[in-house]
Structures are given as structure tokens and as C-alpha cells.
Amino acid sequence: MQATRRVLEAFPRSQHLVIIVEIGLSIPIIKSPPVPRWNLRKADWGKYKSFIDKTINRIPPSPENYQRFVNMIYKGALKAIPRGARREYIPCWSEECESLLEQYERSGVDETAERLINTMNEERRNRWKMAMENLDFTDSSRKSWGLLWKLGGAITPRRSAVDVDPSEIATAMKQTSKIRLKTEEKKRISRNLTKELANNPTNLDIVKAVDVEEITQALTLMKTGKAAGPDEILPEFLRELGPIGRKWMAKLFTECIKSGALPKLWKEAKAGNEAGGSCVLARFVGAVSLNMDQWRDTKAAAATRSARHLPAKPD
């Protein structure tokens, strides 16, 4: 018969230790906080793609409609991905284990208990094989190092304390953040800009439109398993978009480049002890091959053309 023993801490002002011996079947139960989470293992990505492809064309691809896009992604995820919280969790528990436990509670036969333990051990073995096969440090090493830390095989790096006063950092940022140009240099840059704008046609096409291939390449480079930002969109939600959804994203980025406007959620971030950082799409912008200098030139050219064609004010 299986038996386990645990030694607890000593009583206050005593040298005696409490020893708890458990005899019989013992199933580990893990208690978790009641925080809703997405169960991506049971996600129906085909249903998710179908819903997005049928709905996304109703939303014009513009920065003002980004909140509608977020609501649509969230609604599609609710339809295809289980979401909830469990106060108690048993690792590698399945429906077969549940039925075997009910049989054991009714009959009390040791053979049923052994089948239950063997079923759980087989599921643990399969998950261990899957974890070892997916162990990869080339794409995303976060999960791999996390597994090694749990097993105790990774050495925590030692960080030496840096004695830097916050006022020194603030002084350095103040001195280096503002670069004051001379008046002659400003006039020279302004003359060059006016000359370049005068020599170019009205319909400047400095920045090409973002295509679907760039979106696909950037989504491939995105790391999964990251926390969501203020928009509550996980990287997996974007990577599983179909061709229609990726085409819509390409139009959205093209519109942001042409107009020079960004959605408000891209400029927000979670601070303090909250998990996550900036929005996933805001981090995704860095993976798309955009030339920010050309972007600023396009905005300046558009603003200059608009000012040039304004009617004169009446006296």
C-alpha cells in the first residue's frame, strides 16, 4: 500500500516536529487564484478564423476603428477558446481519471487505484515527451529556460548592484535629450525642405503600402506566450488570423503611415505590478519594415501642401 510522509515546521518554543503520514491513494491538488485565463490547448482555431474572416470586412481599416477590431477579436476568442478559472487543479487529470476515481470510491478495489495512478503517469510521461521535443532555444527561449529553472538545472545569474543616484540619471537625460541647433542650421534645413517639396509632385509616394507578406513575416517572428497589454489581445490571436484578417492588418498599417495617426491603445502600457506591457500590435509595429524617417517626411510634405493650398484670409 502506498504511503507518503511530510515533516512540518517545529512548534513555537519547542524542538518537536510534526510528521504527517498519508496511507493510501493520494492525488496532488494545486490551488490557483480565481483569475480567468484562456485555455489555448483546447482552442478551435478553425472556428476562430472563420468568425474573423466573416466579420472583419465590416470594419474600415483606420486608427479610429481599432477599438472595434479589438472587440471583434475578443468576441471571436470567446466563441472558439475556453476561458475560465479553477480554484483547484489536478495536473494531467482527464475524464478517464474521473471515471476511475468514481469506481474506486464506490468499490474500494486496489486494482482500480493502480489503473488510476498508471493513467496519470502515462499522461505525465506524454507531456514530458512533448516538452522535451518542443525544447528550442532558437526561436523563444523563455519556456525552455523556465523549464530548466523549475527542474533546478539553470543557474540564476548574479547581478552586481550599481550605485547610481537617480538625480544623476535625470541630469544625464536632461543634458542629452535636447539638442539645440544653431539658428543658421535651422534656416538651412528649412530651405532644403522647402526646395525638395517644391521639386516633388503633389501626390508623393515616398512610403510603399504594407503588403500581406510583411504581415505574415512579422507574425512569424512574434513570440508566443507573452502577456497581453491594455487591449487584452494575446500574440496567439494575431498569429492565427486568416488571409482576410492579415490583409485588413496590412491596410490598417498603411493607413497609419499615410495619416500619421496611431490608435490610442498603442500609446498606453500597463505599469506597476500589473502583468504585461504595451499592446501586442504596438510591439508588432517594430517587426514591420517601416522607415520612420520617410514617415516623418511624408507627414511634413502633406502638412506643407495643405498649408500651401489654403485660401487667403480676407482683410
Residue 25 placed within a domain? no
Residue 215 placed within a domain? yes
CA angle, 175 then 176 then 180, to 5°:
85
Taking the C-alpha atoms of residue 194 and residue 203, their distance in angstroms, rounded to an integer, is 16
- Cell output for 85: 478559472
Is residue 284 within 8 Å of residue 218, measured between CB atoms?
yes
Share of the chain above pLDDT 70, in %: 73
Residue 209 placed within a domain? yes
pLDDT > 90? residue 59 = yes
CA angle, 284 then 287 then 293, to 5°:
105
Residues 6+ apart with CB under 8 A from 103: 109, 112
Taking the C-alpha atoms of residue 169 and residue 13, their distance in angstroms, rounded to an integer, is 50
pLDDT > 50? residue 307 = no
pLDDT averaged over every residue in the chain: 76
| pLDDT score, position 178 | 63
| pLDDT score, position 270 | 60
Residue 233 placed within a domain? yes
pLDDT > 60? residue 271 = no
Number of helices (H) and strands (E) in the chain: give both, helices first: 12, 6
15: helix, strand or coil: coil
| pLDDT score, position 70 | 93
Taking the C-alpha atoms of residue 228 and residue 77, their distance in angstroms, rounded to an integer, is 14
Taking the C-alpha atoms of residue 273 and residue 311, their distance in angstroms, rounded to an integer, is 53
From 282, 288, 211, select the one nearest 243 (Cα to Cα): 211
Task: Among 53-62, 76-85, 146-155, 224-233, name the one with the lowest average pLDDT.
Answer: 146-155
Strand bridging mode 83-84 / 37-38: antiparallel
State how many domains the chain has: 1
pLDDT digits (tens, 9 = 90+) for 246-259: 999 999 998 888 87
pLDDT digits (tens, 9 = 90+) for 151-168: 665 555 666 666 777 778
The region that residue 17 occupies, defined by phi over 0 for left and psi between -120 and 50 for alpha, beta otherwise, is: beta
Looking at residues 186-208, what average pLDDT do you find? Answer: 71
Question: Which residue in this structure is represented by grid cell 507531456?
Answer: 127
- Taking the alpha carbons at both ends of the chain, their separation in whole angstroms is 102
Neighbours of 57 (CB within 10 A): 13
Residue 13 placed within a domain? no
Residue 59 placed within a domain? yes
Task: Show the beta-strand stretches assigned E in the chain.
Answer: 3-10, 17-23, 30-31, 37-38, 83-84, 88-89
Q: 78 is in which domain, residue-wise?
A: 32-89+202-308
Residue 15 placed within a domain? no
Residue 259 placed within a domain? yes
| pLDDT score, position 295 | 47
From 55, 89, 96, select the one nearest 72 (Cα to Cα): 55
